[in-house]
A and B are shown apart, each in its own frame.
Chain A
Amino acid sequence: MAYSEKVVDHFNNPRNMGSFKKDDEDVGTGIVGAPECGDVMKLQIKVQDEKIVDAKFKTFGCGSAIASSSLATEWLKGKTIEEAHKIKNTDIVQELNLPPVKIHCSVLAEDAIKAALNDYKKKTDTKESK
């Protein structure tokens, strides 16, 4: 099965590949994996005043997983925390035209977003309680 043009584009020119310092206070990190295929995805957000100012990812897996996380970082940039929570895997499926066998890649990206948001929330919560 051939990858869609958009997947190939993200795969060849991944946006926002890289990482932030995990321990920085304004950074939220999500690391998730897909047990079916063994792909591992790391997604990070940098937050200022409840707004995501930057996002980065590193994904070790198939083209669809890379494209899904690349697209996710693009969408995350400029969004508020609240808006970021609303990104759904089905949006990614639609945008990238993922075939049924690759839907789990988009689920992985959504999980990574949620994990990064949770990590950031945990960080700010502990900071406030100090």
Chain B
Amino acid sequence: MDQAQKTSGKRTELQMARSMCWHCQSEVTGEYFCEQCIKVQPLSKELDYFTCLGLPRLLNIDINTLEAKFYALSRAFHPDFYQNKTESEQTISLENSALLNTAYRTLKDPIQRAEYLLKLEAGSAKDIRTSPPADLFEEILALQEDLEEYRSAQAGQNQVGLEQLRARLTVDRETLEQRQREMETRLFELFTTWDSLQSRQSQTEQAGRHLRQGKDAVLKEMRELLSNRTYLRNIVNDLIATTA
């Protein structure tokens, strides 16, 4: 909670691993470099990816802003610029760049961004207990049986039967793909809901609890959508691979 407020609030600059310069021992006041000796400073390993890229913990992010920040930081930390520096500086440059790259890759993709947010907000995304989608499982098993039937029909001689099966599976696939699109639409709606909840300030304790409940509900629905999306993706891929 405190963490979330911090990152959604003003605090967007990078946190350094230490408040003291590793080289000249003076207090670090510059952003990524010591103002006294101009040495590069290591990023804190606990830094979350949003903070790392100077972004609030929101789900709708402006890709241009993300990219600009990433390029600027890449230039600051890139190992190429540290070839003639000391070993310590080269190590810091490498580690900072690695963290930066992972942060950028994760946040660039909306699905990975949502998965990452779930992990941050729920400790571990898996800890959010959702009931398994029994209907979806039944549906997937039925489709897998149809696929098996199709595979054995492929081995046989019945061309007419095979074509009929293929036509049916194609319709099934199109229906599933439509559902995937609907799921994504809903997921992006939740992005916006999350962002508006994140920007809301709660004055009283009761309002704070209420806000937390609202956030948890959004996280839970996102968790469900992302899981169901994975199940659907697998069966759609199997359908495409088999009937292609």
Which A residues have a C-beta under 8 Å from some C-beta of B?
A: 31-33, 35-40, 42, 58, 60-61
Contacts and interface: CB of A to CB of B under 8 A. Distances in A.
Interface of B: 126, 130, 132-134, 136-138, 140-141, 144, 223, 226-227, 230-231, 233-235, 238
14 contacts: A31-B141, A32-B132, A35-B226, A35-B227, A36-B126, A38-B230, A40-B141, A40-B144, A42-B137, A42-B141, A58-B141, A58-B144, A60-B141, A60-B235
B126 A40 contact: no
Contacts of A33: 132-133, 136-137, 227, 231
B230 A37 contact: yes
Contacts, number: 45
A75 B239 CA distance: 32
Contacts of B140: 40, 60
Given A33-B227, A40-B140, 12 more contacts: A33-B137, A35-B223, A35-B227, A35-B230, A35-B231, A36-B126, A58-B141, A58-B144, A60-B140, A60-B144, A60-B234, A61-B234
Contacts of B144: 40, 58, 60
The CB with the most chain A CB atoms within 10 A, among B138, B234, B235, is that of: B234
A3 B190 CA distance: 39
